[in-house]
Amino acid sequence: MIWAYPDITLYTWLAIGFGLLYIGYLYRFYRINKKLDVSKHRLLMKMLLRTSYFVLFLIAMAGPSIGTSMKEIKEEGKDIFIAIDLSQSMNATDIGPSRLQRTKFELKNLVRTFSGDRIGLIIFSSEAFIQCPLTFDQNVLQLHIDGLNTGLVPNQGTDLNAPLAMALTKFSEDESLEMKSKSVILISDGEDFADNFKETTSKMSNEGIKVFSLGVGTSQGSTIPRGNSVIIDPSTNQPAITRLESNNLKLIANQTNGEYFELSDEVQEIPDLIAAIERQEGTLTGSRMIEASANKFFYFLLAALGLAIVDMILPLRTIKL
């Protein structure tokens, strides 16, 4: 017999508690026996009855498994590209400590959630680059996330089409013939100086690739740090202010049947993003047979309940009248 929940300490304390309470019960009847005629035979029967169903309850709690059977375990997974905006505006501090630092923190938790899926990283600004190809290796992903900074890409503006086209190309180059669940998490403050993504999102929609957009920042915005100063807008000679521009991010998500989420100090929709991706039906990547034991706790539970009902409905009289 195999025990599913072998918590010996718990069951020992329960048995000790039951024993102490029953000793108190017997002592009470011992005192009554001095004044009344108590049937020791019936008292012994009652004690055995109650002890029996208490022991059966303990056995049921321990989850006894008797016999084994073969069970098929299906392994499902998804392919997910995370596209991260590394333009200078991601250094803005309208989210503490900065948009990029907060994104990196949230990304590390998100990646751990999807440990059974293939995840790749795309970094972009005016151009897009593969930082990490699709992989199951959590250590590699965490290492790349730690190293993200705005110096990794050229910074002549932001082009939201670049990472989408890159993800579409990489998904198309997948040599596997089996259908897979494919999605892109697009993380940006929404500034787009190209506005040429509609053809790409149309192709992604046709191929069943969903884009989940995450807008990082606030509508109030903030200045953009650069060394000990801030970036200056050359047209006004004033500090440049960057704000969350959500319209294009919402449009991209809508055109690919995805969803839009936000991240700021006031709005934290990362759990909703994770839930949305988890709802995507994964692709069967394999299956394996395992030997599983059959839990038979309910037999002991039914027996214990039966004896307890007998004890309540048909009490044995221990005092002779």
Binned at pLDDT 50, 70 and 90, residue 131 comes out as very high
Q: Please report how many Cα atoms fall inside a 13 Å half-sphere around the Cα of residue 173, on the Cβ side.
A: 8
Contact between 253 and 259 under an 8 Å Cβ cutoff? The reply is yes
CA dihedral 27, 31, 34, 36 (to 10 degrees): -100
Q: What is the pLDDT of residues 193-215, one digit of tens each?
A: 777 899 999 999 999 999 999 99
Which pLDDT value is given to residue 5? 61
pLDDT at 105: 94
Of 75-79, 157-161, 252-256, which gets the smallest average pLDDT?
75-79
Please tell me the least confidently modeled range out of 25-34, 83-92, 205-214, 221-230: 25-34
User: Given this model, what pLDDT does residue 202 score?
Assistant: 94
Backbone φ and ψ for 304, nearest 5 degrees, come out as -65, -45
User: Which carries the bigger pLDDT value, residue 63 or residue 285?
Assistant: 63
Radius of gyration of the chain (CA): 32
| Averaged pLDDT of the chain | 83
The top-scoring range by mean pLDDT among 64-73, 231-240, 262-271 is 262-271
Report the pLDDT averaged over residues 92-100.
Answer: 92
Residue 279: how many other CB atoms lie within 10 Å: 8
pLDDT for residue 90 is more than 70? yes
Q: What pLDDT band is residue 14 in, cutting at 50, 70 and 90?
A: confident
Write the DSSP symbol of residue 319: B
The pLDDT confidence band at residue 115, using thresholds 50, 70 and 90, is: confident
Q: What percent of the chain has pLDDT over 70?
A: 81
Summarize pLDDT for 42-56 with one digit per residue, the tens: 667 777 877 888 888
pLDDT band at 305 (very low <50, low <70, confident <90, very high): confident
Are 256 and 209 within 8 A, CB to CB? Answer: yes
**Lookup: tokens for 41:** 């035979």
The confidence score (pLDDT) of residue 282 equals 67
In this prediction, residue 166 carries a pLDDT of: 95
3-state SS, residue 200:
helix
DSSP-derived 3-state class of residue 44: helix
Higher pLDDT, 143 or 179: 143
| Tokens matching residue 76 | 């499902």
Predicted confidence at residue 37, as pLDDT, reads 60
Give the pLDDT of residue 314: 65
Ramachandran assignment for 215, one of left (phi > 0), alpha (psi -120 to 50 degrees), beta (any other): beta
Q: Report the residue count for the chain.
A: 321
Exposure of 132 in the CB half-sphere (CA atoms within 13 A):
26
Dmax (CA) of the chain: 106
Place of tokens 């151009």: 127
- With H, G, I as helix, E, B as strand and everything else as coil, classify residue 122: strand
Which residue in 117, 208, 129 sits closest to 170, CA to CA? 129
Distance CA 249, CA 260 (A): 7
Are 152 and 124 in contact by the 8 Å Cβ rule? The answer is no
DSSP 154-188: --S---THHHHHHHHHHHHT----S--EEEEEEEE
Q: What angle do CA 48, 49, 50 make, to 5 degrees?
A: 95
Tokens representing residue 50 in the block: 């109650």
* DSSP of 54-106: HHHHHHHHT-EEEEEEEEEEEEEEEEEEEEEE-SGGGG--SSSS-HHHHHHHH
Please, what's the b/e burial string for 25-63 (b: 16 or more CB within 10 A of its CB; e: otherwise)? eeeebeeeeeeeebeeeebeebeebbeebbebbbbbbbb
Evaluate if residue 321 carries a pLDDT over 80: no
Kindly tell me if the per-residue pLDDT of 292 is higher than 90: no
Task: Tell me: pLDDT of 143 over 70.
Answer: yes
Integer Cα distance of 90 and 127 in angstroms: 15
For residues 246 and 189, give the distance between their C-alpha atoms in angstroms, rounded to a whole number.
7
Provide φ and ψ at 2, rounded to 5°: -110, 140
Residue with the larger pLDDT of the pair 129 and 174 = 129
Distance CA 31, CA 43 (A): 14
What pLDDT, on the 0 to 100 scale, is given for residue 55? 83
